[in-house]
Structure 1
Amino acid sequence: MKQILVTGATGELGTTVIETLLKTMKAENISVLTRKEESKTEFEQKGLKAFIGQYSDVESLEKAIENVDTVLLISSGDQGDRMQEHKNVIDTAKKKGVKNIAYTSRSLKDKNTLVNKLMTEHFLTEDYIKESGLKYIIFRNALYMDVLPLFVGKHVFEKGILQPAGNGKVAYVLKAEQAEAIANVLMNENFENQTLNFTGSDAYSFYDVATVLTELSGKQVAYKSVEVESFKKIMLDNGVPEPMVKKIVAFNLDIKNGQEATVTNELQHYLGRKPTNLKEGLKIVFNL
């Protein structure tokens, strides 16, 4: 039986991975890394092996990775030095004799033409894993449908959708389904240096999102695609900080350029069912 360490254990993705693993694995075969003492206690009460630590603290990583054969590295946020944090986990896994490493990357069409440079760190992490000599599975996850309320704003049913994404499409997936499929792979697959693209069964534009929100809410929701400079001015005038505006614009331009539109059946295969479609997903994330 594998001894699996799940990093980022208290995030939404990590939580669902753990819940899915517990359906068929003994709790004692799951280790978790968390930053919070109260979370550590909760995990231990369920029978898991829990460790306080973070990616920037190599000593804590060494304790958590001791006697583990498989590590799930859930990608770090972009607040710190993400690449160094990822390298710390990978290097420690290698040092401690871990056999297998899995990483939550992103399903993007072409790393060489990305506008959002933060996303290139996913590909750099993939390369570092491949160079490590560890057996790996890379999960290239589609953009989460769960983020759509953040993209379109609180007043979407009054003001509609305003983005500089043109007719670009995204193969959205619910985060919970991504996590469930990841756990299924961790439990059942041998690590043979695979890269899996976990996407929805279809790709959708903001025009599609607007149409479905109109249908579900009974309120007319329109999508207006605007030029980048106009969009920036509107966001800044509304008090959105400039760094956040740049990040939103970069996401949208990658969508416009087709970076997020790849569709595969690999998520469906590991879920054992079709992923939730746009209509059913929007019902969930907008509580409609």
Structure 2
Amino acid sequence: MSKILVTGVTGQLGKAVIELLINKTQKSDLAVLAREASKVEHLNEQGVEIRIGDYNDENSLVSAFAGIDKLYFVSSNDIQNRLQQHQNVINAAKKAGVKHIIYTSFQRKNETPDSPIAFIAESHLKTEQWIKEAGITYTFLQNSIYTDIVPMFLGEQVLETGTVFFPAGDGKVSFALRQDMAEASVAILTSEGHENKSYDFNTEQTVTFQEIADILSEILGKTINYVSPTQEVYIETLSSAGVPMEYVGMFAGFAEAFKQNEFDKTSNTLESLTGKKPVSVSDFLKQVYSSK
């Protein structure tokens, strides 16, 4: 069996992947990367090896990756420093002799600087390029938008205001639940035949934010309206409400990407890898809002 190392286990995706792996494979074949052992001590108690390393420190990663066959590389959430961090990971993986990198990338259509999410896309595109140039066997998981974060786009006050205020127009999005992506990731990590391939991690369903508002209306038994303002009005509204500018820019960028149908792309990949239907946006929203 291959020795698998999972990064990002203090985050939600990496945590879900390692928890699934513990129940599916030998614990002696598993390792996780952490900056502080204390944060993952519960995994060590279950028999998972802890490797200490930091995306900011290439030398620490070389040591951490020693003897690893498959590296489940969760992209950094530090947007400002992500390029250098990812380069450190790839350099270290090559030096350590990692045989296969499974990288959590992103779904896209527009790879140009004109993309409304170019500020996020750049590091993913370069990371894929660097992995190929390093000559390491790869699998790119081109993740769509997590269904889990739909409530963030709807806003904390959506129930009070009765309005989804988000400038996504009538753009269609294929959301996918983080847990479903984790299960598909584990299927790839524990089987062969995925070498030098890219997989779209999305679903066969697309929804608009008008449809999301309609689903909410049905769940709550009251009308939830959808308003798609201009980018300028949206940015001004959020800024006036005290939302930090980095979040305003991120929400606005994703809204424009949705409006441009950047995530209007479907596949049955998750179902084919996991053997079950992914959780739908409707079912997820019922879980979140039915008791509100």
Give the TM-score of the pair, scaled to structure 1: 0.96
Residue 221 of structure 2: aligned partner: 218
Residue 262 of structure 1: aligned partner: 265
Aligned equivalent of 1:120, options 112, 119, 122: 122
Report % sequence identity. 35
User: Given that residues 135 and 191 in structure 1 are in contact (C-alpha distance below 8 angstroms), is that contact kept between their aligned partners in structure 2?
Assistant: no
Count of residues in correspondence between the two structures: 288
Which amino acid letter does the alignment assign opposite residue 145 of structure 1?
T
User: Given that residues 3 and 31 in structure 1 are in contact (C-alpha distance below 8 angstroms), is that contact kept between their aligned partners in structure 2?
Assistant: yes
Aligned equivalents of 2:290 and 2:147: distance in 1?
A: 13
Residue 32 of structure 2: aligned partner: 32
Residue 18 of structure 2: aligned partner: 18
User: Given that residues 20 and 184 in structure 1 are in contact (C-alpha distance below 8 angstroms), is that contact kept between their aligned partners in structure 2?
Assistant: no
Aligned equivalents of 1:97 and 1:285: distance in 2?
A: 44
**CA positional deviation for 1:58:** 1.7
User: Given that residues 40 and 51 in structure 1 are in contact (C-alpha distance below 8 angstroms), is that contact kept between their aligned partners in structure 2?
Assistant: no
Matched, 1:251 2:263: no
Residue 163 of structure 1: aligned partner: 166
- The SS at the match of 1:169 is coil
Residue 91 of structure 1: aligned partner: 91
User: Given that residues 58 and 91 in structure 2 are in contact (C-alpha distance below 8 angstroms), is that contact kept between their aligned partners in structure 1?
Assistant: no
Structure 2 segments unaligned to the other structure (5+ residues): none
**CA positional deviation for 1:71:** 0.5
Aligned equivalents of 2:26 and 2:290: distance in 1?
A: 34
**CA positional deviation for 1:287:** 5.9
Distance 1:38 1:219, change over 3 A: farther
Which amino acid letter does the alignment assign opposite residue 156 of structure 1?
V
**CA positional deviation for 1:184:** 0.8
Matched, 1:109 2:119: no
- Residue-by-residue CA offset, 1:65-108 (whole Å, 9 max, x unaligned): 11111111100013441011111111111111111011001111
Aligned equivalent of 2:133, options 126, 131, 134: 131
Which amino acid letter does the alignment assign opposite residue 224 of structure 1?
V
Distance 1:287 1:174, change over 3 A: farther
Aligned equivalents of 2:80 and 2:36: distance in 1?
A: 18
Distance 1:129 1:286, change over 3 A: farther
Structure 1 segments unaligned to the other structure (5+ residues): none
Q: Give runs of aligned pairs for residues 163-202 of structure 1, distance below 5 A.
A: 163-202=166-205
Which amino acid letter does the alignment assign opposite residue 193 of structure 2?
N
Instruction: Note the aligned Cα RMSD (angstroms).
Output: 1.4
Comparing 162-171 with 54-63, greater Cα deviation is found at 54-63
- Residue-by-residue CA offset, 1:178-201 (whole Å, 9 max, x unaligned): 111101111012342000001022
Aligned equivalent of 2:151, options 145, 149, 152: 149
Residue 76 of structure 1: aligned partner: 76
Aligned equivalents of 2:195 and 2:244: distance in 1?
A: 44
Residue 236 of structure 1: aligned partner: 239
- Residue-by-residue CA offset, 1:191-236 (whole Å, 9 max, x unaligned): 4200000102211110011011111122321110111111111111
Aligned equivalents of 2:47 and 2:290: distance in 1?
A: 34
**CA positional deviation for 1:119:** 2.0
Residue 48 of structure 2: aligned partner: 48
Distance 1:51 1:152, change over 3 A: same
User: Given that residues 59 and 92 in structure 2 are in contact (C-alpha distance below 8 angstroms), is that contact kept between their aligned partners in structure 1?
Assistant: no
Aligned equivalents of 2:116 and 2:124: distance in 1?
A: 14
- Residue-by-residue CA offset, 1:140-175 (whole Å, 9 max, x unaligned): 011001111111111111221111110011101111
Aligned equivalents of 1:97 and 1:191: distance in 2?
A: 19
